[in-house]
Structure 1
Amino acid sequence: MGGAVAALVTALLSLVVPVLGLYLGMWFFLLVANLPGIGFGVMAVRRYPDAAEVERHLRYAWACNFAYAALSVVFFIPLMLLAVVILSV
């Protein structure tokens, strides 16, 4: 159960990148929100008595979280560079 909660919390914390993009006025960062990771995390927590279902959804949630982390690096670095340029002017 702890792994399912950790996957869900990690997926929820991954919403920092879209919120930061929205704060900077770039609405298109909402398109890269980790909604599949959040969905699989919720399903893993809700399927608690069935160990096979929990493990399956847990694997999917962590796969989505790791894929999202790699994708957010691709988007986060240019966002930070843009923020530095905007703040230095």
Structure 2
Amino acid sequence: MIRGDDGIRAFFAGLARDWRGWRGVRKWDTIEHDLAIKARHTGRKIRLNFTLRPGSDRDYWIVTLEMVIPPDESLDRLARDIGELFGDL
């Protein structure tokens, strides 16, 4: 569960700020680890991996989604949307 300002806005703002690239994998997750996000910049694309799992029973199910976006205004738009979505936390 996402509560308060847990850094998700800063995470996406940082990706947008560093759109030209970064080394390694950037990670963010909730306090209870039920939602985790990994971001990799591959030069021409940014790969975002979202992993959702139940907080109490980690072996029951896991959902993983990969989202590939170009490092352009799409990334800025995503960061703005995340900021608006979680702006009142």
Normalised by the length of structure 2, the TM-score is 0.31
Higher Rg of the two aligned structures: 1
Normalised by the length of structure 1, the TM-score is 0.31
